[in-house]
Amino acid sequence: MRLFDSHSHLQDAKFGDEVPGVIERAKAAGVCGILVCGYDAESNRRALEIAASHEGIYPAVGFHPDVAKDVTPELLGELDALAANDAVVAIGEIGLDFHWYNSPEADQRRVLDAQLEIALRHRKPVSVHSRKAEHAVIDHLAPFAEKARAAGFAPGVLHCFGGTVEQAKRYAELGFLVSLACVVTYPKNDEARRIAAELPLESLLIETDSPYLPPQGRRGQRNEPAYVLAAAEAIASARSLPVAVVAEETTRNAERLFRVGAAAPAGVE
């Protein structure tokens, strides 16, 4: 059984010097691919370093909406240069956060638009953070998706999706994938299980968002990519499918989106 953790933060301080062991445990659990997402300049650099040192680890680079107020044109220029690196498979995580508002809305929207332009320029999909902003971020993502499809690449993924099933279906119609994290295992998260049941399987990814949001049986502990199986199991239960089917299909979805692994088109590493 193959699994793909489509969103993690292995560069987080909570992992420290344990990253090699964490990756080995993930591989032992059947994880064949891990996307490591940046969120600021330092984490972008570390994502690239970790990916360069370990097979099956893929870097994404971007500025999280929380840091948008501090993102200068110079930093955006540095991101543009990183995006040109063939090793980088996505721009992320980027988006809007209307829960914490650690950056003003105007700055969040400015930096999001700038990063979408970078993604278009380099034909890279985006990994989108949207917290209590699903109604707003679509105004930025819908025109981006149209341009991405015209340029011949899939627009990206709504990571750790926390909206409604109706919103998820709208994003899927635009060509985005919707990623369900291990929070789909939480007893009160019926909406995530509705999404798991009602969205086409070809529109779904799974993730850990590690070291955050561990599955129900590990609440209070550090999450890690090996535990992405819990998300696959919850989706399988919601759809009345074997977990191996969900694991394989979401892995193929991730490989197609990021153009890596077995599902990569000819000529793409």
Confidence tier at 155 by pLDDT (50, 70, 90): very high
- Under 8 Å between Cβ of 200 and 191: no
| pLDDT tens-digit readout, 6-62 | 999 999 999 999 999 999 999 999 999 999 999 999 999 999 999 999 999 999 999
pTM greater than the 0.85 cutoff: yes
Neighbouring residues of 157: CB distance < 8 A, sequence distance ≥ 6? 6, 7, 125, 126, 127, 128, 176, 177, 178, 179, 205, 257
Domain ranges of the chain: 3-263
Burial state string for 132-143 with b = 16 or more CB within 10 A and e = fewer than 16: ebbebbbebbee
Find the distance separating the first CA and the last CA of the chain, reported in whole Å.
Answer: 22
List, in order, residues 6 or more apart from 121 with CB less than 8 Å away: 80, 83
The CATH superfamily holding the domain 3-263 is Metal-dependent hydrolases (3.20.20.140)
127-152 pLDDT, tens digit per residue, is 999 999 999 999 999 999 999 999 99
Q: pLDDT by residue (tens digit) across 83-132?
A: 999 999 999 999 999 999 999 999 999 999 999 999 999 999 999 999 99
Give the tens place of pLDDT for each residue, 196-215: 999 999 999 999 999 999 99
Question: What residue type is assigned to position 81 of the chain?
Answer: A
Cβ atoms of 38 and 61 closer than 8 Å? yes
